Amino acid sequence: MNFGGQTPTIVVLKEGTDTSQGRGQIISNINACLAIQDTIRTTLGPLGSDILMVDGEKTTISNDGATILKLLDVVHPAASILVDISRAQDAEVGDGTTSVAILAAEFLRETKPLVEENISTHVIAKSMRTACRLAVNRVKEIAVHLDRSNPEEFKDLLKKCAATAMSSKLVHRNSDFFTEMVVNAVLCLDSADPDENMIGIKKVSGGGIEDSLLVKGVAFKKAFSYAGFEQQPKHFKNPKIVCLNVELELKAEKDNAEVRVDEVTEYQAIVDAEWKIIHDKLVAIEQSGANIVLSKLPIGDLATQFFADRNIFCAGRIPSDDLDRVVKAVGGSIQSTCSDIKPEHLGTCESFEEKQIGADRYNLFEGCPEAKTCTLILRGGAEQFIAEVERSLHDAIMIVKRTMRESNIVAGGGACEMELSKYLREYSRTIAGKPQMIVNAYAKALEVIPRQLCDNAGFDATDLLSRLRMLHSKGEIWAGIDFDSESVGNNLDRYVWEPALVKINALQSATDAACLILSVDETVKSQEAQQQGPPPGGMPGMARGRGRGMPM
């Protein structure tokens, strides 16, 4: 068919579909990431600010990068990548969630002029990955290995790492109190593979922040109780503990069967049979020698009074995670029947006590022989304050856990970033062409961490960074920002320590995110998605990478 020499228009997308492509789209994506950076950059460091976020009636006050980005509900497809890397950093190492997002955005800021000069984004990404590999190798080269031969000294070193993680948190004024608590909590876990999920955290409103306590065992809020509960003993020494997944109520038998009767006497026989079934269960538990009976399912008033008459403590409707931690702490196993409870199925501990904490009563199991779990009970005035304390302690717990496993640390306060920047600048002078500019831009971007620390603290960033460059050029690899003297100093000697893994993971994640964003030069959004708004879980449509499809 002859179209008069003109190429016909072929429609492959739905009418009204918005398409954006080319270098303008890359610049737009970079600007979106810079907007995210501007939002969270003021929270970095020990003198950073907190952000108040309001979602309906719920308010959150935090300076934790992952928490802030999650609550911001970012819908821009490129900017949401920064949210993902911040969450990944939180899951992997627990700290550095703000730093990783700031670094990724700064890498994009420094490469933006290169994109505008029509340098291929593939060349930029390749050189950035080279710079990242060199930086990671340099971190591993300069990292200091902690000596674990002396347990007491190693514990003190762990406290230094925890104190650094808390220095930028709401609890930094109480860091001495909480570092002791955090390190003791992690040391309660299995040293071969510490699992932070085995540290239970309970929040009790009221009291002062230093009324918080560490229970080397398990503590949980008193479960729903029936008549007769107050007659039970509330304190035991070396008790025998049985954990059940059994319902001890009359209605359990009544509701699970249908019986037809011809005479009234037969009905009485059924009632007696029901009583006999539950009575046999209770007698079997009593004969097992257990002093404490815990169950995931309800323990009714009949069973409660039965146990009270025999000086046995019982608690039903225990949350599953709490009961699992009880079993791991006291030993034994969870039983699904009462008919064959043997001595090896029972656990024990040095002491059990029901204790009033604030307005609530808690069951405390302490001195557990299998003590690979513990519980932090946090106190404070406002619920938002306690929630931020919990987030702060989570970061510190993760840092101590990683330090125990890796034992390699670097100095914080911008010292590590300045050393990497100086190292990459020197390397860039040994190569020619476009990679030299890109590696140099990468090195300059690393200085955003110490610069932002100075800006948030109100220091003269230009003056302090110039002095840091001079010190690092003389070989002082641990020179960083000293917040106490508002100057610079050796942060390794001042015990401003961070696990090397935090820096390595942040560099790799930030570089990968920056390269991913640079590789996208077209975004396609369907008209329907634009009208309805983004579906749960992200932005509609598709983003196309240069040379390959890449869903966002």
Task: Kindly tell me the sign of the dihedral angle through the C-alpha atoms of 63, 67, 71, 75.
Answer: positive
Q: What is the pLDDT of residues 102-117, one digit of tens each?
A: 999 999 999 999 998 8
SS (H, E, C) 240-295: EEEEECCCECCHHHHCCCCCCCCCHHHHHHHHHHHHHHHHHHHHHHHHCCCCEEEE
* 317, 344, 370 - which closes a domain: 370
- Would you say residue 66 has pLDDT above 50? yes
Query: Both 41 and 97 in a single domain?
Result: yes
In a domain, 313, yes or no: yes
In a domain, 38, yes or no: yes
pLDDT of residue 12: 55
Say if CB 469 and CB 444 are below 8 A apart.
no
Among 59-63, 293-297, 375-379, 530-534, the least confident range: 530-534
pLDDT of residue 301: 84
Cα 261 to Cα 309: distance, rounded to the nearest angstrom: 35
Mean pLDDT computed over 500-509:
91
Mean pLDDT computed over 294-318:
87
Query: Both 190 and 278 in a single domain?
Result: no
In a domain, 136, yes or no: yes
Helices 264-287 and 301-309, axial angle in degrees (round to 10): 50
What residue numbers bound the domain in which 134 lies?
18-144+411-542
- Would you say residue 534 has pLDDT above 60? no
- Would you say residue 469 has pLDDT above 90? yes
Mean pLDDT computed over 526-552:
45
CA 341 to chain centre: 39
Mean pLDDT computed over 362-377:
82
Cα 21 to Cα 367: distance, rounded to the nearest angstrom: 64
Q: What is the pLDDT of residues 3-57, one digit of tens each?
A: 455 555 555 545 544 456 677 888 888 988 999 899 889 988 888 888 888 887 7
What confidence category does residue 537 fall into, taking pLDDT thresholds of 50, 70 and 90?
very low
* 345, 370, 395 - which closes a domain: 370
Higher pLDDT, 365 or 370: 365
Higher pLDDT, 80 or 528: 80
Cut 0.85: pTM above it: no
- Would you say residue 157 has pLDDT above 50? yes
Cα 30 to Cα 17: distance, rounded to the nearest angstrom: 23
As a whole number of angstroms, the longest Cα–Cα distance in the chain is 102
In a domain, 297, yes or no: yes
Query: Both 83 and 119 in a single domain?
Result: yes
pLDDT of residue 540: 40
Higher pLDDT, 94 or 97: 97
Cα 384 to Cα 382: distance, rounded to the nearest angstrom: 5
Query: Both 342 and 465 in a single domain?
Result: no
Mean pLDDT computed over 475-479:
91
Query: Both 418 and 534 in a single domain?
Result: yes
Burial of 167 (0-12, 13-18, 19+ CB in 10 A): middle
Residue 360's φ and ψ, nearest 5 degrees, are -115, 160
Cα 137 to Cα 81: distance, rounded to the nearest angstrom: 25
- Would you say residue 531 has pLDDT above 70? no
Q: What is the pLDDT of residues 205-260, one digit of tens each?
A: 888 888 888 888 888 888 777 777 888 888 888 888 888 888 887 764 445 566 67
Mean pLDDT estimate for the chain:
82
Query: Both 206 and 225 in a single domain?
Result: no
- Would you say residue 362 has pLDDT above 80? yes
Residue whose C-alpha is closest to residue 368's, from 180, 189, 183 = 189
- Would you say residue 545 has pLDDT above 90? no
In a domain, 12, yes or no: no
Query: Both 196 and 243 in a single domain?
Result: no
Question: Measured between alpha carbons, how far is residue 89 from residues 86, 100, 198, 381, 408 in Å?
Answer: 5, 8, 20, 30, 18
- Would you say residue 203 has pLDDT above 60? yes
Say if CB 519 and CB 125 are below 8 A apart.
yes
Q: What is the pLDDT of residues 122-137, one digit of tens each?
A: 999 999 999 999 999 9
pLDDT of residue 538: 43
pLDDT of residue 257: 62
Mean pLDDT computed over 67-74:
83
What confidence category does residue 345 fall into, taking pLDDT thresholds of 50, 70 and 90?
confident
Say if CB 208 and CB 338 are below 8 A apart.
no
pLDDT of residue 103: 94
> CA triplet 80, 129, 454: central angle to 5 degrees?
65
Report the CATH number at residue 236.
3.50.7.10
What is the number of other CB atoms lying within 10 angstroms of the CB of residue 35? Answer: 13
Say if CB 105 and CB 33 are below 8 A apart.
yes
In a domain, 9, yes or no: no
Say if CB 129 and CB 394 are below 8 A apart.
no
Query: Both 179 and 316 in a single domain?
Result: no
Higher pLDDT, 9 or 90: 90
* 343, 370, 397 - which closes a domain: 370
Mean pLDDT computed over 469-481:
92
Report the CATH number at residue 158.
3.30.260.10
Query: Both 308 and 430 in a single domain?
Result: no
In a domain, 314, yes or no: yes
Over its C-alpha atoms, the chain yields an Rg (Å, rounded) of: 30
Burial of 141 (0-12, 13-18, 19+ CB in 10 A): exposed
Mean pLDDT computed over 156-176:
82
Q: What is the pLDDT of residues 425-452, one digit of tens each?
A: 999 999 988 999 999 999 999 999 999 9
In a domain, 7, yes or no: no
Question: Measured between alpha carbons, how far is residue 551 from residues 339, 515, 517, 522 in Å?
Answer: 56, 15, 12, 11
Query: Both 212 and 240 in a single domain?
Result: no
Cα 292 to Cα 286: distance, rounded to the nearest angstrom: 10
What confidence category does residue 192 fall into, taking pLDDT thresholds of 50, 70 and 90?
low
Number of domains making up the chain: 3
Query: Both 162 and 304 in a single domain?
Result: no
Higher pLDDT, 455 or 301: 455
Query: Both 507 and 430 in a single domain?
Result: yes
Among 64-73, 131-140, 238-247, 261-270, the least confident range: 261-270
Mean pLDDT computed over 290-299:
88
